[in-house]
Every structure is written in C-alpha cells, then in structure tokens.
Amino acid sequence: MAAFPARRGQMHLGAFFHPTGNHVASWLHPGAQADAGLNIDHYIEITRTAERGKFDMIFLADAVATRDGNLVALKRWPQYMAYFEPTTLLAALAVATSHIGLVCTATTSYNEPYNIARRFASLDMISRGRIGWNVVTSANLTEAFNFGREAHYEHGERYDRALEFTEAVQGLWDSWDDDAFLIDRASATYFDPEKLHFLHHKGEHFSVRGPLNVPRSPQGQPVLFQAGSSEAGKEAAARFAEGVFTAQYTLQGGQAFYSDLKGRMAKYGRRPDKLHILPGLNAIAGRTEKAAREKHAELQALIHPDVGLELLSNTLAGFDLRPYDLDGPLPPEAFALTTNGSTTALRNVLGWARDENLTIRQLYQRFAGARGQRTLVGSAEQIADEMERWFVNHASDGFLIQPSHLPEGLDDFVDLVVPILQERGLLRRDYTGTTLRDHLGLEPPPSRYAKRPAAAE
Ligand SMILES: Cc1cc2nc3c(=O)[nH]c(=O)nc-3n(C[C@H](O)[C@H](O)[C@H](O)COP(=O)(O)O)c2cc1C
C-alpha cells in the first residue's frame, strides 16, 4: 500500500439502504431480497449486519410520493413504489439493535415542524439516543401533488423553508430542560413548570407555539444531516448540519467540496470538526478484483432495457430512444440536447458517448446501474486503499456505503473490507459509546435555555 500523509482518527461509516440495494436491477439478483421494501425481517437482518460491521449508522431515504413516469419501465423497478415509511421502520429497528445509529429522511417541504420534532424526539427516546434526521427539501417534484399544490416550491424558497423549519424543530426539541421531569410521587409533582419553555415561533413560513410533548432527548437532540450540494444546500449544511451526504467522484472534487463546505462554517460560529462529510460509495467488493468484476457484470446484465432507456432518456431531456438500435450509437440529434434537469448528468452521458463511442446499451448500463453514484469495483484491499486515500487526504470524514444489492453486497463489505479498515486502525473494533453522537464524536448541544433563567411564559 502506498504511504499516505498521516491523518489522525477513524473514519465514520453509514450504510445507505435502498430496500433491495443501490443497483437499479438489484431486486433481480439472487443475492438480493426481492420483496425487501416490505420485509421487516430483511431490514432487521441488514441493520444487524451493519452493527456487526461497527458502522456509525444506517440511513434510509424517503419520498412522499411514488416515482412518476413511464409505467412500462416503472413496473420493472420497485424502488419508491411500495416500502415502509422510514420513521415507523426505524422504531422497529431501534428495538432490534443496541448500538448502531439510525438515520432517515423527512422533507421540510411537505411536513410541519411540530410533527417532525415530535416524531424524531420520540424515536430518540425509543432508541436511547441513536437517531438522526436527514433534512431534505424533496427531490421528487411530484410530491407537491399529494399536498394540495400544483407544483413543487421553487429551489430558493424550498431552502428558505428548510432553514426556518429546522430552526423551529430545534427550538421545540429544547422545550424541556434536561431535569424538568421530577416524576415525584411524594410531592405529587410530575414536572417543574420553571423548566418548561414555549417556543412562540412566528416566521415567514411557520407559526409554532410549542411546547413539544416529548422531553429533551437522550443525546440532547437528534443529529442533523443534509444531502443537497447546491450553493443553497451547502450554505444550509454549514449552518446546521452535523453530517452531510454527497455524491463526489474524484479525489480532487471531493477535496474541493470538503474544504468549501467546512470553510463556510466559521461565519455561523461553528468549528469544522462539528460536521462530518460522507461521500457516497457504491462499493462492490470481492475476494479478488476478478470476482468483484464478475459480480458487477452480473448486475449490469440484469438491467432491463425498458428501465435503462427510461433513465437514460430522462437524462437526455426526455429524448425517446426506443426507435433506435440498442447496440448502435446515439443518434446525432441527441448531441444538441439541452435540459432543465441535471446539466452535469447530461454532459457526462454525451461525453461518454462521444469520447468512448459507447452504444446506447453501454451508455444506459454505465449511467443507470449506480444511478449516478460513484461506483468502485475491486478487491477488498483495493476498496480499503481508495477509502483510506480519500480519508487521509481530507476529501471525506468517512463514507456512506451504498451496497449494490442487499443483503449480499453488505455482507461482502462487512466480511471483506471492514476487517482491513480495522486492521489499519481506520475503523473502530467496537463501539465505545451508546448514542449516535458518541459514535460521531459530537457533544450533545446545550439547551438554548441552559444559562438563562426560565422565561416568564
Ligand atoms: C446520499 C443522498 C441521499 C439523499 N436522500 C434524499 C431523500 O431521501 N429524499 C429526497 O427528497 N432527496 C434526497 N436527496 C437529494 C438531496 O437532498 C437534494 O434534495 C438534492 O440533491 C437537490 O438539492 P441540491 O439542489 O441542493 O443539490 C439525497 C441526496 C444524496 C446525495
């Protein structure tokens, strides 16, 4: 292994559980649980596997709508069509595990702060301090249709709402001082009213009186995560996030994002080590590089052309590729396309088609397989080397591991890669604390009322 400049400490690991796995065709693979989205035994098994691998946490994404689009393609892809609501699921996983952190998404666009504050505080009590909330503004535009709107909020407004929403939630989480509940039968006193605080939040988007009907949580407050990488997303993260999920592809890109985001924190009075940046890693590990490549090829071969073409044509601004030969080149008109969607993805796809002469099938296989996430296929040693390279060179504080198919892809990672990371001192051999904040080395945030006398309310 190459000699790296030393960086002290251990990396933080999250396991991102798309029900059947990150690969678009994972549910068709024999090593995946086909009905995973609605199989509680499956979720318990994979969460316990991640706990055995001493991960800091698992992470569940969410949307408050199904996927929308061409049903001919959608019928071949279960993701976001039928699965457990994640906060409900985390409650079950909390009682089936003892140490691992449990993180899920809830959107600030289609919720109210009181509901979210209550749900996550409650989960933090049930899990004894292991909960995190991934604050998103909703990537799925059709969620609007389920909440009385005809269009999604515009990007800037979404983030304005997210900032105010999060502030209100944090305020509600401080409704009670840590020692507010006396539960004293002798004096017939359940709580001390001096230690109860009304929020009285009145902002542009939300009005919340409080107090919350759940005490301060065992880790002070649940841990806040954020996963948007736009300017507004980075600014929001610098302000309140304690963990960030991001898609980064190159060491240089990862380093630039890392120093940019950490550099924004000072103006909010925050130290850079109060936020952990975890780029996604779709790691396909084998005992040998050849075994890993074979596994990856198996998955790639399972991508149904309907699904591949749908994903590719979404990226190509809706350009219909069905009339064309899958094993032929992209038609010349495609190279003139522009998009209102992701310009980065469009540029990447057209670049591959032009520079490497990829056929339509090869293009969708490359793009659709990992759905735009960074894929690393190799021996366990090679994957550990690459993770170490990013970590010691300040491109990340750890990784969000996105197993290609579940449970098998996670088993491979935990059995093959984790021991190498532990051997190198880069990953804990056992948990030294019990809360998610303990694992992440983050102090419980003091209550906003801690040093002040209780307000007259
Ligand atoms: C690892 C990861 C997980 C995400 N999970 C969700 C999710 O569960 N729900 C969602 O609506 N968006 C999710 N997103 C999308 C972002 O939160 C964000 O909405 C999107 O990137 C657009 O924001 P931006 O313009 O600031 O980048 C996720 C993004 C990443 C990288």
Residue 181: strand, helix, or coil: strand
Distance CA 232, CA 159 (A): 7
Distance CA 236, CA 259 (A): 15
Residue type at 141 in one-letter notation: L
Q: 310 in ligand 1 pocket by Cβ < 6 Å?
A: no
- Ligand 1 centroid – CA 337 distance (Å): 25
**Residue 372 clears pLDDT 80, i.e. is over it:** no
Backbone angles phi, psi at 256, to 5 degrees: -65, -45
* 8 A C-beta contact, residue 457 and residue 196: yes
Backbone angles phi, psi at 221, to 5 degrees: -145, 150
Query: pLDDT for 259-270, tens place per residue?
Result: 999 999 999 999
Mean pLDDT of the chain: 94
**pLDDT at site 40:** 98
**Residue 456 clears pLDDT 80, i.e. is over it:** no
CB atoms within 10 A of CB 457: 11
User: Going by CA atoms, what residue is nearest to atom 29 of ligand 1?
Assistant: 227
**Residue 5 clears pLDDT 60, i.e. is over it:** no
**pLDDT at site 272:** 96
Query: pLDDT for 15-58, tens place per residue?
Result: 999 999 999 999 999 999 999 999 999 999 999 999 999 999 99
From 59, 64, 136, give the residue whose CB has the most ligand 1 atoms within 8 Å, as the site to mutate: 136
- What's the predicted TM-score (pTM) here? 0.94
Nearest-atom index, ligand 1, CA of 107: 11
